[in-house]
């Protein structure tokens, strides 16, 4: 089963769209993602470790706790999909892309043409740059099904080779038996 981490903007339903499209294609994929509830993500540190008067320390606690899940998810995945939205700057998505690249993970980046120049270095590290979720699903379908087709082809060739070998050996046995009579 393919493990895919869905990183990036949290203000739209793009993750659900990819998951739904993959389910419709019957693709066996395990998806993980960061906490997508913005408030829960921001407040996890103070909810777990106690309140802070200074926003810097509040954000620091939350970011460190969230980084545990992010690091584990990226380390365990086969493919990282990073979505850069149109409305907000996704510094965390850029950071995730850099971390994935440092770990030599296959990465699919999604963004519109308006962000092409700003994300040129991220794009250069990516295995593919998609314009939308549908292209991502087509890529995932290809990488899941392509090896199966190769295995199927190899098996068919092997079976045909075995059949030819068996026919040859059977002919030899018949010839030997006829000669012995």
**The domain that contains 72 carries what CATH number?**
3.40.50.2300
Domain annotation covers residue 98: yes
Domain annotation covers residue 126: yes
The model scores a pTM over 0.85: no
Q: Any residues with CB less than 8 A from the CB of 80 and at least 6 apart, and which?
A: 4, 5, 7, 74, 96, 97, 100, 105, 106, 107, 108
Domain annotation covers residue 124: yes
Neighbour-count burial for 147-176, b at 16+ CB within 10 Å, e otherwise: eeeeeeeeeeeeeeeeeeeeeeeeeeeeee
In this prediction, residue 180 carries a pLDDT of 77
Total domains in the chain come to: 1
pLDDT tens digits, the chain, 181 residues: what are they?
Answer: 999 999 999 889 999 999 999 999 999 999 999 999 989 999 999 999 999 999 999 999 999 999 999 999 999 999 999 999 887 778 889 999 999 999 999 999 999 888 888 899 999 999 999 999 999 999 999 999 865 455 556 666 667 676 677 767 777 777 777 787 7
Domain annotation covers residue 71: yes
In this prediction, residue 114 carries a pLDDT of 86
In this prediction, residue 7 carries a pLDDT of 96
Domain annotation covers residue 41: yes
Domain annotation covers residue 172: no
Domain containing 65: what range?
Answer: 2-146
Domain annotation covers residue 179: no
Are 35 and 6 in contact by the 8 Å Cβ rule? The answer is no
Domain annotation covers residue 47: yes
In this prediction, residue 145 carries a pLDDT of 86
């Amino acid at each position: 089963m393919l493990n895919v981490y869905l990183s990036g903007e949290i203000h739209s339903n793009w993750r659900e769209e990819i998951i739904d499209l993959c389910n419709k294609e019957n693709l066996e994929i395990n998806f993980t993602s960061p906490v997508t509830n913005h408030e829960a993500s921001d407040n996890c540190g103070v909810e777990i470790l106690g309140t802070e008067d200074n926003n810097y320390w509040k954000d620091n606690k939350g970011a460190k706790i969230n980084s545990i899940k992010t690091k584990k998810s990226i380390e365990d995945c086969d493919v990282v999909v990073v979505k850069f939205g149109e409305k907000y700057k996704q510094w965390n998505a850029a950071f995730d892309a850099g971390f994935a690249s440092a770990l030599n993970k296959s990465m699919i980046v999604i963004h519109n043409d308006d962000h092409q120049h700003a994300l040129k270095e991220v794009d250069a590290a990516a295995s593919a740059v998609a314009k939308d979720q549908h292209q991502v699903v087509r890529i995932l379908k290809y990488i899941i099904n392509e090896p199966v087709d190769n295995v199927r082809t190899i098996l068919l060739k092997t079976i045909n080779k075995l059949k030819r070998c068996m026919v040859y050996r059977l002919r030899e046995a018949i010839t030997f038996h006829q000669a012995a009579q």
